[in-house]
Structure 1
Amino acid sequence: MFMKSLQRQAIRFNSTVAKSTASRALSNAYIGKIESRWTSLPKEDQQTLIEELKARMELPWQELTPAEKKAAYYISFGEWGPRRPLYAPGQKSQIFWLVAGTVLGSIAVFVGLKVFAEPEAPKTLNREWQEASDEYLKSKNANPFTGYSQIQ
């Protein structure tokens, strides 16, 4: 007896009567301009709308209204959630100019320090220092690959 009642309920659930609520079109006020309202909707309302559109999309697609098709497309492929753009429309140029200004500023600081902080060359770059270091390396037989310790 119990099994028969479960079977009747399963048949009733799978019948077209149970899906009659999905055959009713969603109102344009409910799904119209969803692109501008989607991010401000609470999560519960978003899930409800997704479930109602799923139920509508189980029907033939010719029965969907254009507003329902737009809403389904936006929910599936719109710029929200993980598909939200990383930068707003004016941010890319702002980022470019900030980076360019920072690079030019660092070059200016480098050149300013190079010119004004140390105007004379270091003493290790003159010719006498280089010859003295070569003689020292020869006396210690250092760096065998360039000839200081090779026997000629």
Structure 2
Amino acid sequence: MYRQSLQRLAIRSQSTVAKSVPRPLSNAYVSKLESRWTALPKEDQTSLIESLKSRMELPWQELTPAEKKASYYISFGEWGPRKPLYGPGDQAKVVYGVVGGIVVSIVIFAGIRSVAPASPTTLNRQWQEASDEYLKSKNANPFSGYSQIQ
């Protein structure tokens, strides 16, 4: 008896009768998905993805054009991680922000430079030449050649 029931199950699973084919989704459900996708609740998004997955298991010739567009948008559209970081008008904001930052830094630098005292006397040319002569006379700094015999 147990063997007969297993045989019947095996025959039913191998039958050539067409299995239930998922029905086409309505055009109102999948059309213009690009404009509606972000406003759809998360549950509706997941149910739409699952129903499109089951439809995409069929040959692509059986899909309606609206289903093809919807599946393409869900797979490759600009939503979720593929959403662009910047909108259409954000490029100008970035450019103006960078230029403004550079101008502000130049103004701050010029302001600090105008308030600062005059440069020290150790930075003029005569002082540097005198310090070089002094170092040569003391044979200092062997790495640059003052103590090398010529």
Short-chain TM bin:
0.7 to 0.9
The question of 1:17 aligning with 2:19 is answered yes
1:73 aligns to what SS in structure 2?
A: helix
Matched, 1:28 2:27: yes
| Equivalent residue number for residue 142 of structure 1 | 140
Unpaired runs of at least 5, structure 2: none
Tell me which residue corresponds to 2:64.
65
One-letter code aligned to 1:10: S
Root-mean-square deviation (CA), in Å?
2.3
Q: Which runs of 5+ in 1 are unaligned?
A: none
Identity %: 62
* Secondary structure of 2:145's aligned partner: coil
Give the alignment's TM-score, normalised by structure 1: 0.81
How far did residue 11 of structure 1 move? Answer: 4.3
Give 1:151 shift: 2.1
How many Å apart are 1:120 and its aligned residue? 2.2
TM-score (normalizing by structure 2)? 0.81
1:124, 1:5 → 2: CA distance? 104
For 1:70 and 1:42, the matched residues in 2 are separated by 20
- Aligned partner letter, 2:139: N
The aligned counterpart of 1:123 is 121
Instruction: Report the Cα offset of residue 86 of structure 1.
Output: 1.3
